[in-house]
Amino acid sequence: MERKIMDIKRKSSTLNLIALTCSALLFGCGSDGKDGEDGKDGVVGVNIDSTATLSANISTASVTDGLITINFDLTNANGVAVLGLTKDHDLRFGIAQLTRVSETMGDTEVDRGFNWQAYINAEKTPNPDWIPEGESHINPSNQYQANVEKAADCDECFLDNGDGSYAYTYQVNIAEVTEPLTVTYSADSTQRATLELELPQVTANAFLDWQPSSESSEGIQTRDVVSIETCYTCHQVESLALHGGRRIAIENCASCHTSTSGDPESGNSVEFTYMIHAIHKGNERMTSTADGMVPAPYKIIGYGGGIHDYGKVMFPQGPAADCSSCHVEGEGAPADADLFKADLSNTACVGCHTEKPSQNHSSTNCIGCHNSTDTYPGTGSAEKRHFDVMKAYSDARAMSVEFSNIGLTADGKIKFDLQIIDAAGTAIAGEFINQGTRVVVAWDSDKDYPAYNDASYSNRRIKLSEGTYDANSKTFTITGNNFDMPNDADGKTFELWSAVEVCFNKGGYGVAEVMMTECSDNTRSIEVKEEAYHFVWSGTGMDADAQAATRRSIIDTTKCQGCHNQEVFHYDNGVNCQTCHTSDKTTKSDDSYPGGKKPTSFAYKAHAAEGHYLKYAGVESGTVLKTDCMTCHTDDGIKLGRVSDRVWRFGHKTSGEDIWVSSDVGTCLSCHQKYLSDAGASHIVTNGGILDGTSEEDVQTRASEACSTCHTPEQLMSLHAH
C-alpha cells in the first residue's frame, strides 16, 4: 500500500509539472523544473513527554582546549528512539577526574590510591534556619560540595540531532578550575561524565569513563567497587532514588560524593565511602571515651533543615563484619571489587568504627598498623580482622546436625539423640558445644505448627543441658519433658529444629587463627546451620517409610537471608520463626499499639519489623517497600483461601482483650489491623470473615470466608505493588 501511495504521488507531481509547463509556455516564461524527489524517511520514535520508560547512554566524549563535548542517546524500554529532548527539560551534567591521592603521615607521603574529584564545586555556609536546636553530634561549618551543571543555563551548549541522539558541550572549562577548589586536569587521567534527566513520569542516569589522551574507555584506570545490584539485595529500587528521585546510578553518586564534600549544617563528611559505611553501621556506631563506649550516630541535615539521624538505622546484615555483603567479587563483579583488601585508605575504617574505636587508638592512621605487610605483631589487616569474625561462621556452616533414635519414654514423652558433626564427618565433643543452646520440637509443620495453648513454644524448646551426654559417643539424649505429645500424633509430620551453637575463639589482637575452642566465658558460639529434620510419627516413633508432608510455599527464605545473611534475630538457623511465632500465639502488652495488645505472630512481626517499610505506619526506613509483596514472598505466597481451618489471635483494637479471627482475615490484619475502618470491618463480615471470635472453636464453626473469590493473587499484587 505504501508503494502504491508513493506511485500516486509521483504521477500527481508529473501531471502538475506538465500543467505548469504548459502555463509557462502560454505566458512566455521559461522553467527548468524537475520531477519531485522522495523526501527523507521520518525518524521512528516516541516523544519524550509521553514515554513511560527511558534509558540514557553516553556514547563518546572528547576534550578540546578544556571544553568537554559528549554525545548521548535516549531510548525507551523497547529500544525506540526518544525524541524531543530540549535544554529546558530537567537535564544536568557532572564531570569528575579519577585522581591519585596521597596523604602525609608524619614525615612520610603515603599512597591512598585513586579517588574521584569533581570539577564543579561550591563553598556552602551553614544556613542558621536549617540547624536544629539542641541537636548532638553536629558541628556546623563551611563545607565544599560537588555539584552538576544545568543544560538550561546555556543557550549554545545543547544540540538535538533529531533522531534520538544529542550532544552537549559543558559550560565548565576543566583546564581552568581554580575556584573554590583547584582541580588540575590531566589528559592521562580517567574522566567521568555523568548525565541525569528527570521527567515528571520517569528518570534516567548515565555515565561514561574515558581517558582523553588515548580517547579510550577500555584498559584505563578505574574505581568501580560496588554494584548497585548488590544494594538491591536489601534496598528496593525506589528507596535508592535520591535527591528528590533524580539520582539513581551509583556511579553518579560516587563521582559527586567526593573526599572534599561535606554537609555544612552538620559539619559531617558526605564522601561516598565514609558516608555509606557510617550510615550502615547505624545504631552500632560507637566511639571510645574516658567513660567508656558511647553512641556516635552519623547525622546529616537535609535540604530545608530536615535531620537524617542514621543512628537509628538497624543494619540487617549479621554479622556486620561480612564485607562480602556489599563487596561482591567473582564473575561479573565491578573491576575494583577487591579494593577493600588493598590497605590504602582509612576512610571506610573511620566511617564504620569512628576515629577512636577504643582507648588503644590514638591515631586515625588505621592502616599504619592494620595492613598485610607491617611487622607490628598480631594486628592484622582489615581483611584478616574481618575474616577472623567470619571464619567461625564459615566453619560452622560446614558442620551438620544428626538426629537418631527418635521414640518415646516410658511416660510418653518424645526423646531423641543428637550429634553435631564436623566437616570431616566426625562427631564434635561436648566441651566445644554451647550446652545452653536449644533444640525445638514441633508437629503439624506442614500446616501451622502446634496450637499455642496445646504446647507453647517456650515448652517445646529444650536446652542441651536439660538432656544427658555420652562422652564416648559424643551424643546428647534429649527428652521433651515440658509438653505432651498430641493425642492424634500418628500420621502427623514432626520436625526437630536445631539452634545448637559451637564455640570459637574470638580472634583479634595477637590471634593467629580462629578455630573451634572449648566453651568458656571468653569464647563466642555460632549456630550450626541445618534444615529442620522432618519425619512422620507412627505409634511410638518415626515411620521410616512415610513421606513427610511439606508446608505450603509462603516466603522465600533465600530472599530473607540475602538481606539478613547469617543472623536474622535469634535462633538463626534459617527463617524458622513461625515454628514459635504461631498465628494463635498470645498477644503482648504494648501501650503503643491500639488497644494495648500487640500481635506476636510471625506474619505481624515480619510485616511490622523495624526497617521493613510499612507504608501506612510511617516507619519509612527506605530499606524495603513492604507494599511490594514479592520482596519476601514466593510467587504463590499470597494466595488466600488455602487454610480455612486456621485461626488467628489478636488483641481488640479498643479493649485489648483476646479476639479470634478467621484465616484470611488474620492474614490481612497482620498488616492492616491498625487502620481497619468500620466500613472495612463490615466488608469482611459480610463476606464470611470473623472478627469477634471468642475461641478457636467459635471461629471454625462460623467462618465461611469468600475473600479469595475477588482477592486473587493478581488482584492483591495490583493493590499492593508499586
Q: What is the CATH number of the domain that holds 421?
A: 2.60.40
Q: Are residues 348 and 410 in the same domain?
A: no
pLDDT at 544 over 70: yes
Could you tell me if 63 and 171 lie in one domain?
yes
Specify whether 364 is located in the same domain as 400.
Answer: no
Q: 43 or 471: which carries more pLDDT confidence?
A: 471
pLDDT at 608: 82
Residues 210 and 63: their CA atoms lie apart, in Å, by 11
| Cross-strand pairs, 574 | none
Shared domain for 188 and 297, answered yes or no, is: yes
**CA-based radius of gyration for the chain:** 33
Q: Are residues 61 and 184 in the same domain?
A: yes
pLDDT at 232 over 70: yes
Distance CA 131, CA 27 (A): 85
Nearest to 239 by CA among 611, 675, 718, 720: 611
Q: With the C-alpha atoms ordered 157, 87, 120, 256, is the resulting torsion angle positive or negative? A: negative
DSSP state, residue 175: G
The number of beta carbons lying within 10 Å of the beta carbon of residue 152 is: 15
**Residue 377 pLDDT > 70:** no
pLDDT tens profile 336-370: 999 999 888 889 999 999 988 888 887 788 888 88
Q: Are residues 530 and 641 in the same domain?
A: no
Question: Mean pLDDT score of the chain, rounded to an integer?
Answer: 89
Q: Is 560 inside a domain boundary?
A: no
**pLDDT tens-place string over residues 446-468:** 999 999 989 999 999 999 999 99
* CA pair distance 631, 622, nearest whole angstrom: 13
Closest CA to 586 of 595, 594, 578, 598: 598
Band of pLDDT at residue 34, cut at 50, 70 and 90: low
Residue 718 cell numbers, joined: 495490583
Position 40 in a domain? no
All residues at 6 or more sequence positions from 696 whose CB lies less than 8 Å from its CB, including other chains? 451, 584, 647, 660
* pLDDT tens, position by position, 129-166: 999 988 999 999 999 999 999 999 999 999 999 999 99
Q: Report the relative pairing of strands 624-625 and 612-613 from DSSP bridges.
A: parallel
DSSP code per residue over 44-63: PEEETTT-S--EEEEEEEEE
- Identity at 535, one-letter amino acid code: F
Domain boundary among 368, 386, 414: 368
Beta-carbon contacts of 666 under 8 Å, excluding residues fewer than 6 positions away, are 583, 601, 603, 646, 647, 648, 650
Note whether residue 707 is domain-resident. Answer: yes
Give domain status of residue 32, yes or no: no
Tell me which of 531, 553, 575 is where a domain ends.
553
Q: Which domain holds residue 333?
A: 47-368
pTM for the complete prediction?
0.85
Amino acid 631: pLDDT: 81
Q: How many CA atoms lie within 13 A of 427 on its CB side?
A: 16
Residue 533 sits in the same domain as residue 589: no
In this structure, are 504 and 649 located in the same domain?
no
Is 390 a domain residue? no
- Say if 558 falls within a structural domain: no
Specify which residues 588 forms β-bridges with.
598
Give the 3-state DSSP-derived string for 525-541, with helices as H, strands as E and coil as C. EEECCCCCEEEEEECCE
The pLDDT score that the predictor gives to residue 38 is 64
Q: Is residue 227 part of a domain?
A: yes
What is the domain count for the chain?
Answer: 3
Same domain, 665 and 523: no
- Three-state DSSP state, 97: strand
pLDDT in tens, 250-269: 999 999 999 999 999 999 99
Domain end marker among 368, 388, 407: 368
Helices and strands (H and E) in the chain: how many: 14, 33
Residues 6 or more apart in contact with residue 42 via CB below 8 angstroms: none
* 663 in the same domain as 592: yes
10 part of a folded domain:
no
User: Both 90 and 209 in a single domain?
Assistant: yes
535 beta partners: 494
Same-domain pairing of 88 and 206: yes
